[in-house]
């Protein structure tokens, strides 16, 4: 499945109302560590068998969402279950570590 671009406009339908866990990557273009983790998040999204969804939020374009979830450093990965944050990770993580957040 493709990675979704999540905005304030689609956050409710894409994340809060999702029946599946959603991995959300808070990132920015200028962030070096974000560029390191982005291909890993993209691969996880492409490899999803439909049991979870993957999306990205650009903190420069959506500062209110970053503030709402207290994102102080990027990259920040948050797994949402039933519309609520269930697991959070800050900084560069490997694929297996990110996948374990979805378990």
- Give pLDDT, residue 103: 87
| Per-residue model confidence (pLDDT) at position 2 | 85
State pLDDT tens for residues 13-25: 999 999 999 999 9
Give the pLDDT score at 43.
Answer: 96
Q: Can you spell out the DSSP letters for 10-25?
A: THIIIIIT-SS-EEEE
Does the annotation count 34 as an active-site position?
yes
| 70-83 pLDDT, tens digit each | 999 999 999 999 99
Domain tally, the chain: 1
**Dist CA 87 CA 85 (whole Å):** 6
Q: Is 58 helix (H, G, I), strand (E, B) or coil?
A: strand
Over the chain (103 residues), the average pLDDT of each successive run of 10 is: 93 96 98 97 93 97 97 97 96 95 92
Question: Please, are residues 54 and 1 in contact by the beta-carbon 8 Å criterion?
Answer: yes
Separation between Cα atoms, residue 40 and residue 13, nearest integer Å: 24
Look up 31 and say whether it is catalytic: yes
Active-site position among 4, 18, 28, 31: 31
CATH number of the structural domain spanning residue 33: 3.40.30.10
Residue whose structure tokens are 């560069």 = 92
* Domain that residue 44 falls in: 4-101
Kindly name the residue from 34, 37, 53, 79 that is annotated as catalytic: 34
């Amino acid at each position: 499945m493709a990675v979704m671009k999540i905005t304030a406009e689609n956050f409710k339908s894409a994340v809060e109302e999702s029946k599946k866990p959603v991995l959300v990557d808070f990132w920015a273009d200028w962030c070096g560590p974000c560029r390191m983790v982005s291909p890993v998040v993209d691969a996880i999204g492409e490899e999803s068998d439909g049991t979870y969804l993957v999306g990205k939020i650009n903190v420069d374009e959506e500062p209110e969402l970053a503030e709402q979830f207290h994102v102080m450093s990027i990259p920040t990965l948050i797994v949402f279950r039933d519309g609520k944050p269930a697991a959070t990770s800050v900084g560069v993580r490997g694929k297996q570590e990110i996948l374990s957040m979805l378990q």
